[in-house]
Each structure stands twice: as C-alpha cells, then as structure tokens.
Structure 1
Amino acid sequence: MTTGQSKANREFGEYDSDTDDRGAGYPQDGEYERIREKARNRLKKLAKHKEPHVAWHTCVGPQVRWGTQEMLWPVSPRAMQGSATPRICALSTPKKDFQAGTVHYNRPMYYYSSGRASVIWSVSEGAKEGAATERVESLAQPKAFHGDLHEHKPQFFYSCGRVTPIWPVSRGAMGSNERPRTTTLAGHRPYHADFKDERPIQSVVSAAARTTRPNEHISSLAMPKKRSEGPFRAPQWPVSDQVKTSVATGHCVELACSKPLAEGFQHAKEVEWPISKGAKRAQASGRIIELAQPISRASMDHLQFNPNAFTVKESALKGVIPGRIEDLAVPMNR
C-alpha cells in the first residue's frame, strides 16, 4: 500500500494495521483510537437538534433572524443593480440646516421655545443699564394717525376695526361688469400638471381585452399546483412477526436506559421524619436547663421607684484606664 492510499484511508477512519503511526509500539492502540473517534462523531451527531422536515404542509416561511439587517425575502440581482428614480433622490436629500454657520446654532433657546429668538437666556448687567439711542426712541414711537381721521366710524361698531363692506354699495358698482383680472382671481386654484384623478371603482374593460385568448404560459400558470395528500398513514398498521420477535442490541438497551444520578447524590430530606425513642426519652442536663432560663430584667417603669438606679459604683470610680485604651483614644494626626 502506498503512502497516498494510507493517508486516504486514515482520512476516512480506516487503518491498514493495528500498529500504525497513531499506535506505534502499542498493538491494538490504533484500532481503539479509531473506535473512539467514530463514537465521538456519533455523539456529536446525536447532540444536534432535529432538523424540521420542510414540506408544503409544514413550511412556515423563511427562517428570520431578528436583530440583523438581512432581508426577509431574497432580493433579485436586477433589483440590487437598479438605479433610483429622480423622485427617490429628491426625497432622500436631507433637510437644509439654516442655523449652521450662524450665531444661533445649537442655542439653548431652541430647547425652551418654538425655535424663535427669546430672552430666556441671561441678560448681562451692561445691557440692563444701557440707554436707548435717539434712533431707537424714534422707532419706538407709535405711528401717528391721519389728520382727517374720524373715530367711532360704523365699521368699528360692527367689526374688529378693519375695513368691511358694511357701508352701502353704489348702484354703479352693483351694475358694473367684471374685469378679466377679477375673473382670474375668482377662479379656483389649478391642479398640478402631473395630477391624476382617482380611478373609478368599476374600470371599463376594452373590447380587445374581452376577446383576447391567454397564451400557453399563462394557461400553465393558471393551473393549480398538484400536491400530494401528504405522508400520512393510518392510525393502525400491521406489525410483522419478525419485528415482534426481534431482540434489541446492547447499544439500543444502553441508549434506552435513563440517565443515572451523579456519584454521591443524596435525595432531599423529607419534611417529616420519625424521631427515635431514645430522643423522646432523653433528659436535659442541668447546664442546658440553666441556659434555657430567660434573662429577667427590671422594667423601665420601675426605675422611678429605685433611687440608686443610676448610681455609679465605688469600684468604678476608683478604676484606672489601661494603657492600651489610652493609646486607642489618642486621635490620629493627619
């Protein structure tokens, strides 16, 4: 056997002898390694989830991965190579920012108002104490009324103060002919040149469309798709005698066994467990009885009747502080 054939056999898990390069010096090691590799591949295959059988009665559409930019349906190469229309190019143009390059760019007033200039920002002290110039004072003067103005005209009583046609119209004005300009202004606004009216609900079918004949391709597309009844079987089917008398292999029996518990596993302790008779007859020792006695302290209500409640003992008054406590009481110098 040549070197090329040997490498080809090793690639598919076959070996020419039990003492090959993987088990050199140890007989049967190469065969054991091949069996381990084959079992490892088998376990990897069994560990994968079952792939669904896609058929016409089980297909639920394409597999969509959420969170990605992939299309739901594949885009044709012709659509990817197509060019945008002028209308799409015009719609994709971003809106012009008129504030860019000006003093109003990103000012806080656009967060507290409708975007117009306002005095929300702080005013300097110099601006508050400044005096208006003669030009500003002249512009601040209100517009003077006309010399022939007569207040309290009828139009002020029947309207908001603006000129209205409440006064009488002369006969000449009522009998005059309209001008071409007036006719033009009285007309409605014309539609856009590219405006198209809505299509009627019932469209008129032409005579040619009513007498035409479909071609072979359209006829073939109009035919319903032939589908099988599906891989369904009867609820009861006969079982052969060979299957009834067959015996499972050792590997099938091993796979059919349930997963064993880990070594050293202990079941959960029951909520109620029986108490031994020795524990029921046990007697508490004197020390346990002494520790079981509750601590009795005087109530705070009785302190008013005890004049020596807050008296310091003589031994406490003569006590000396240890050196360790004095060292700990010294504050740290930082």
Structure 2
Amino acid sequence: MAKPKKDFGKHQCRPLFLYSCGRESTIWERPLLVDFGFPSDRLLKLSEPKKCPSAYLQQRPRQSPEWLVSPAALNYKASPRILDLARPKVLHPEFRLAREVPTRVKTAAVLARASSRLQHLAEPRAREVTCCYQFSLPESVIRPVSKLAQEAVASPRTLELARAKRLHPDYVPLRDAEWPVTKAAKQAVATPRLVELAQPCQRPPVNSARFNPDAFTVKETAKKATCSARIQDLARPIKR
C-alpha cells in the first residue's frame, strides 16, 4: 500500500512522470522575469500613488498644501487661561515610578537541580482516609463501633438538637386544586356595587393618547406647590 500509484495515461512514454497523477506541472511554465524580479508595466502602474482628482484641486481654497496664517493669528498673544490650559498634566505628588525587582535570583539558583531527597520531602503527605470504607468492600461489612460509643449517654442538649424541626402552629397545609362550593355561594346574587366594581378600567386608545398635546403639561397648582419638611426629609439620599 505504500507504493505510489502508477499512471497508465498519456505519460507512459515519459519515465520522469511514471508515477504522476496525470496533471501537467506548472513549475516549468514560469516566465523568465520572475527569476530576476523585474516588475511588469502593470505592477508599476498599480504601485503609483493615488492622485487627487482635478475637481478637488479646483474647489480647494488654497494652492499650496501649507495653510496660510493670518497676521492677526501670528501677532495674537495668548491669555493666562489659555497658557494654563496648554500646560501638560503634572504627575501626582505621590506618584512613584516602577520599582525594580526587590530580589534577584542568582544564575546558580536558576540552574540548580533539586536532589532526590528534596523531591522526596516536597511530596505531599499521604494520609489514610478512615472516616469511610472503600467501595471495594462487600456490603455485609459493618462498621465497627467502639465500646465507649455504645455506652455513651446523650445529654439533654444533644437530645434537644436531635429533635426534628416542627411546623409552625399557624401552618395550613396545601389544599386540593378543587374544593367544594357552598350552596349559598352558588345561589348568591351580585349587588349593583359589585357589578360596577367588576367592570374593567376603561382607558383611552393608544393612538389618541400618544398624540395628546396636553400629555406633558404641568398644572398651575403643581408649579406653585411647596414641599413640606417631611417630603424634603424623605427626598434626601441615604448616607452609607
């Protein structure tokens, strides 16, 4: 399987392409200019910088790329405020430059190799877990209980803590999704007041409320209102 596949096509007469895939190589078709690195006329034209259009040069207010400075700007004297704003920002008086590394490691310490004794001391201490048994033990194994634990007597505090948490005296369990309705509730007749309260709130349509010109007007009484001392006290933010 490691042998290359033979080509029995049009290259049978060429021993050089005996094991070719049937496609002609493009390596031998390179132009001669590629070897010498001479750019073509097309590359030279593309490498030229982009020129400004003539319409832009005609609309430009100046002929030279340098801006003309007016005599008033040349003779202008900056005010103290401008001079103050032109000053660079000063570093904070408590600013400190980056300190050098406090400790330098010697080359001998960098190239040092730990001995087998140091590697042995660097290993973590292996402690045996005795609080539980391994899963490989059979289920019939019973954990041994010490004689002191068998003869121990719980204190009143331990017995109090061992009691399960009781429910609240006012706790009401969840009722079923369905509960019986009384006969009086089935025969009840709503009063006119209940019928009035059961009607949904009528709001104006969204189209008329959105284009209401008086939606953001403030009443005259609200403009002349004065906050009481209690409202001012409640409006103060909480100090944390």
Scaled by the length of structure 1, the TM-score of the pair is 0.19
Scaled by the length of structure 2, the TM-score of the pair is 0.24
Higher relative contact order (CA 8 A, sep 6+): 2
